[in-house]
Structure formats: structure tokens, C-alpha cells
Amino acid sequence: MKLARLALPLALSLIASTAVAQVPMDPLDARDARRLDRMEQVMRELRSIVFQGRDSGKPVVVQPAETDYQLQEVSRRLADMEQSMTRMTGDLENANRQAELAKREADALRAENKSLSDRIANLESGALAATGSAPAGGPAPAPAAGLSANEAFSQSRQAMLAGDYAVAEAGFRDYVSAYGDNAKAPEARYWLGKTLTARGAHADAAGSYIAAIRGWPQTSWAPDAVLELSRSLIALKKPADACQTLAELAKRYPKASTTVQTRAAQARAQAKCSG
């Protein structure tokens, strides 16, 4: 009898369980189950984070959500773009400044060249006005028969080295007249000036030196030609022009020979140049 009373509730329980199993799960219960699964996943992640901090003893870095990460990445790229734009703007401003400086320097050089050309022209006019003579040269004679330009120059130079200044003067004068466009014509004018200085024709010598150094050639004889011009101006009682010429000598030919620099210092003292 007691055994029968125990079997009855057990049978009823089995029947009820079978009935529940056969009844389909409510949709709301399915959503609740999914929520529970997500919560369990979150709990597992939290446990993992806690255990990570406990085991490593270091602060736990929790990565931001995907949306926050993307926003931070966009912000970083914008910051990089702003820095690039700032650098580009700075480079552009610097380039504009450099271009403006280059333009100013070019304008200054043009003005200086014009000023130097005017100075040479004034020196030439003053030297010629001292005697009222024309530039050294005269009518163009025919070159020596059978002589080339190089031979005519060499012959005149040999005459000067031999101390025959009259022959040298005539030869260089003829050379300048006949071969005025030759590459050695400026040097011929320099040596012609030397012969004129030797016989005291300082005005003609000054004109010849000025023609020789027009354009400030970078040659071995050019510094001496400028010095000789200053000495001719001193002889013509033009100390101010001589001092100006000596200043150009120091500026244009800072590496002139010791001999030229020593003679230039003597000329400055003779002309009583300031500085």
C-alpha cells in the first residue's frame, strides 16, 4: 500500500514532464534565452579580464567598441592632414620669401651694374676732357702686311719688352684699330695704355685703361690695369676719381697680387683716400 502511494506521484511527474516537452517554446522565451546567452558571454569576458589583471598585475586595457575605434582613426587622419597642410603652407611661404629675396638681389645687381657702367663712362669722359683729346686709336690703319692678329700682337709685345715704347705704341694702336673685336683686344689696350703712361700721355692712357677693363675681366693683367688707371687719374689731378677706382680695385679683384696691392696702398696714400 505504501509502495503504491509513492509510485503515483512519480507517475504524475513523468506525465507532466512529457506534456511539457511536447508543448513548443514560446517565442518570447527564445528571445530571453538569447539574451541569457549574450549575458553569459559578457560574464565570461569579464571573468577573463579580471583573471588577466589578477595574473599579470598590470592594468587591463579594454579595447573600445568598433565604432569608437573608427572615430578615433578618422580623428587621427584628420590631425595628420592638418599637420601636412601646415607644413605645405610653411614651405609655400618660405618659397615665396626666397623668390622675393632673389628678385631683390637681381634688381640690386642690375642697379649696381648700371652704376658701375655709369662710373666708367664718367671716368672716361673726365679723362678725355682733361686734354680734350679723342680716345686712343685714331684712323684705322692697315695691319702690317703679311702678319696675322696673333703675330701683330706678339710683335708689339716684343717691342715693349725690348723697351722700344714708340714702336710698341704704334703696334698696339694699329692692332686695336684693326682687330678691335679680337679676344686679345682688351689686353692690347692695356699694353697700349702702358706705352702711353711711359711717355706721360696720362689722359690717353686713362682712356685706354678704361677701354681695357670695361666689363671687369677676370684676367691676370686686369688688376694692374685698374691700378694704372688710378695712377693716371692722380696725374690728371683727379684724386676723388682715383680713390673711387682704387675702391673698385679692392672690390673687384680681392685676390690681386701682393705687388699690385702694395702699389695700390701707395696710390691711396698719394691720393689721400679716406679709409
Q: List the chain domain ranges.
A: 87-120, 149-271
Which residues fall within 8 angstroms of residue 191, CB to CB, at 6 or more apart?
156, 157, 160, 168, 172
Report the SS3 class of residue 231.
Answer: helix
Q: What's the CATH fold of domain 149-271?
A: 1.25.40
pLDDT at 137: 40
If one counts every other C-beta atom within 10 angstroms of the C-beta of residue 20, the result is 8
The dihedral sign for the CA sequence 72, 73, 75, 76: positive
Using pLDDT thresholds of 50, 70 and 90, give the confidence band for residue 4: very low
pLDDT digits (tens, 9 = 90+) for 40-82: 776 776 677 666 666 666 665 555 445 666 677 777 888 888 8
Which pLDDT value is given to residue 8? 42
CA pair distance 203, 233, nearest whole angstrom: 8
Which ranges constitute the DSSP H helices of 162-255? 165-178, 185-198, 202-213, 222-235, 239-252
Which pLDDT tens digit goes with each residue over 173-227? 999 999 999 999 999 999 999 999 999 999 999 999 999 999 899 999 999 999 9
| Residue 147 confidence (pLDDT) | 78
The SS3 assignment for 181 reads coil
127: left (phi over 0), alpha (psi -120 to 50) or beta: alpha
